[in-house]
């Protein structure tokens, strides 16, 4: 029993995936050049060279999902959830930014691959735009500093 000066350790919820769903996600993400897998927030997470584009969810926080979370373009989250509410859901935390949760047992490999590849493209494009914008700001600041206009 915890005392006044100690805290009870949080017990991780049980994993529901037998490894099959994670392997599906790994296979698709691993087929995209330039991706890396790391553990983030206790779950396998897939990165472009700089940003997250897919997160595996195996009963995270005891939510009952075995899913992948991916970013989607404007309006896509709402449309998919409305069309197939048993397959797609709005995940906590990242759902407000338009990410979608995909129940892996309810989607075939072709559709899953398309969603993951589109997420990679979205994140890579955003990263590229941000990098170009930052480079323009640096160049402008350097010109102002040197007195060149």
pLDDT tens for residues 4-47?
Answer: 566 667 788 889 999 999 999 999 999 999 999 999 988 999 99
What distance lies between CA 130 and its chain's CA centroid? Answer: 18
The DSSP code sequence of 52-69 is EEEEEEESGGG---EEEE
pLDDT > 70: percent of the chain: 79
Q: What is the pTM of this model?
A: 0.79
**Please, are residues 46 and 55 in contact by the beta-carbon 8 Å criterion?**
yes
pLDDT tens for residues 50-78?
Answer: 899 999 999 988 999 999 999 999 999 99
Backbone conformation region of residue 73, classed left if phi is above 0, alpha if psi is from -120 to 50, else beta: beta
Q: Where are the domains of the chain?
A: 20-144
CATH number of 20-144: 3.90.1150.30
- Beta strand 100-103 with 52-58 is unpaired
């Amino acid at each position: 029993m915890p005392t006044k000066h100690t805290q009870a350790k949080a017990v991780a919820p049980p994993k529901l995936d037998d490894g099959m769903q994670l392997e599906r996600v790994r296979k698709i993400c691993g087929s995209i050049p330039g991706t890396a897998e790391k553990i983030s927030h206790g779950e396998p997470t897939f990165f472009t060279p700089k940003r997250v584009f897919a997160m595996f969810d195996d009963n995270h926080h005891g939510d009952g999902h075995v899913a992948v979370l991916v970013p989607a373009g404007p309006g896509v989250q709402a449309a998919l959830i409305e069309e197939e509410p048993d397959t797609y859901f709005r995940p906590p935390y990242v759902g407000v930014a338009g990410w979608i949760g995909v129940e892996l047992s309810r989607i075939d490999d072709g559709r899953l691959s398309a969603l993951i590849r589109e997420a990679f493209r979205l994140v890579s494009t955003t990263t590229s735009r941000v990098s170009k914008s930052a480079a323009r700001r640096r160049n402008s600041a350097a010109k102002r500093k040197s007195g060149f206009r």
